Amino acid sequence: MQDTSVGALFIALIALICLSGFFSGSETGMMSLNRYRLRHLARAKNRAALRVSRLLERPDRILGVILIGNTFANILASAIATVIAVRLFGEIGVVIATVILTLVVLIFAEIAPKTLAALFPQRIAFIVSWPLQLLLKILYPVVWLATAVANTILRAFGVKVGHRGADRLTSEELRTVVMESAGRITSHHQEMLLRILDIEKVTVDDVMIPRSEIVGINLDDDWADISQQITGARHTKLPMYRGDINNVQGILHMRDALRLLSEGRLDKASLEKTAREVYFVPEVTPLNIQLLNFRSEKQRLALVVDEYGDIQGLVSLEDVLEELVGEFAGETPSVSKFVTQAPDGSYMVDGSVNIRELNRLMEWEFPTTGPKTLNGLIIEYLETIPEHSACLRLNGYPVEVVEIKDNRVKQVRIYPALRKSS
C-alpha cells in the first residue's frame, strides 16, 4: 500500500464501506422478509421469490456468506483507513482513523442500510439475492468450513441446526394479524375471519335453539291443530313427538307434508310413516367438528342432547353458518329484538337472550364460559331464583332484575355507563 496514492486508497475505502453496507442491508432484508408473502410469490413462480426461498432454506449458509463478506470489508477498510491517517497525520493518525472510521461505518455501513432494509425488506432481499447466490457459489468452501465449525459448537449446546423449520402461526397470532389488517379488509370480512378463528371455542349449545323455544308437532294434539300448524309452518323441517320433546318420533320435512296434502293422504298415520330419522348430537360438540359432521352425515338439522340423553335444544346447519358469516335474514342481528334502550341510557334486556350474541351486538363483556343465557348467568350468580326484583353487579355491570315469570328472569335493566372495571 506504500506505493498507492492517497486518492486511490480513499476510493478503495469508500468502495469497502459501500460493500459493508451492502452486506449489512442484505442481512436485515433477508431476515426481515415476510415469509408468508414470500411463499405466496414463490407459488406464483416469481423468480426472485424462488431464488430467495432457496437461499433461506439454509439460513446458516446465507448468514455465513454475509458475515464473511462484511468482516472482510470492515477489516480491510480499517487497514486502509489507518494507512491514510498515518500518511496524513503521522502516529496520531491511528487514533483519528479509529474514531472517524467507527462513526463512518456505524452510520453508512450499519444504521443507514439496515434501516432502509427494515423499511423495504422485500425489495432489498430480491435485489441482493442474485449477488448473494453468486457469492455463495464462489465462497462455498469457506462458508461450508465456517458454518460446520459454528454448527458443531451450537450442537454442543443442544441447538438443532440445518434446514429452516416451517413457520406456523398460532390462532392468537392469526387473530392479531386480522385485527391489524383493519385498513386493508372490510369490517364485515374482518368480523367473519375472527368468527372463523373462534369457531373451535364455540360449542353446539352456544348456538342451538333452546328446548323451550323448539317449534315441533305434538302427535297427541288434535288433528285440526296439527293440520293448522303444518299449513302455517315457517320452517322446512319440524320435529314430531308425543307428549314431550324427549319422546321424539322423527323429523317431518314440509315438502313431504305438502306432497301428502296434494295426494289427499295427509293424516297422523301418514305423517309418522314419512318422518325421517332423528339425528342427535352432544351439546359439547365444537362447532368446527359439527360442521364437518353435518357434511359427512348429509344432515342439516340435529337435536342436541346432554350427557343423560335428554334433549336440550335444536341446531341446524344454518345456525352454524350464521355463527361464521352472521345473520342471513338481514343486516340487524336477531338478538337486537331482545334489547331496548331507555331514555336514561340504560337497556332493557330479555332474560332469554344469548350472552355471546349480546356481547357481540352491544360490545359488552359478560362472561361466556358458564351459562348461555342472561337468565342463567343471573341465577348462577344469585345461587337462587329471585322471587322479586333484585340488584346485582355482573362483571362490573350494574344489573336490575325487573320481571320474573315461570321461575325465570324475564326482563332485566342494565346500566353499561356505570360499569366498574372488575
Q: Minimal CA–CA distance to 291: which of 322, 336, 313, 262?
A: 322
359, 381 contact by CB (below 8 A): no
Mean pLDDT of the region 70-87: 90
Which residue has 314419512 as its cell numbers? Answer: 274
Compute the average pLDDT of residues 76-99: 87
Q: Find all residues with CB under 8 Å of 355, minimum gap 6, and list them.
A: 366, 367, 368, 371, 372, 373, 374, 377
Report whether CATH 3.40.50.720 matches the domain 334-418. Answer: no
pLDDT for 142-199, tens place per residue?
888 988 888 888 888 877 765 555 567 777 778 887 887 777 788 778 888 888 888 8
Mean pLDDT, range 100-116, rounded to an integer: 92
Predicted confidence (pLDDT) per residue in 247-300, tens digit: 999 999 999 998 888 888 888 889 889 999 999 999 999 999 999 999 999 999
Reported residue count of the chain is 422
pLDDT score for 330: 47
- Rounded mean pLDDT, 292-312: 94
* Strand partners of residue 313: 210, 304
How does strand 347-350 pair with strand 301-305? unpaired
C-alpha cell at 363: 360490545
| pLDDT band at residue 41 using 50, 70 and 90 as cut-offs | very high
Per-residue model confidence (pLDDT) at position 314: 96
Q: Apex CA 100: angle with CA 125 and CA 128, to 5°?
A: 10
Q: What are the DSSP calls for 51-101, one per residue? A: HHHHHHTSHHHHHHHHHHHHHHHHHHHHHHHHHHHHHHHGGGHHHHHHHHH
Q: Is residue 389 pLDDT above 90, yes or no?
A: no
How confident is the model over 202-238, as pLDDT tens digits?
A: 899 888 998 988 999 999 999 889 988 888 888 899 9
> Within a 10 A sphere around the Cβ of 152, how many other Cβ atoms?
10
Q: pLDDT at position 332, please?
A: 43
Where do the structural domains in the chain lie, given as residue ranges? 6-156, 169-201, 203-325, 334-418
CATH code linked to domain 203-325: 3.10.580.10
Distance CA 21, CA 366 (A): 55
Say if residues 347 and 411 touch (Cβ distance below 8 Å).
no
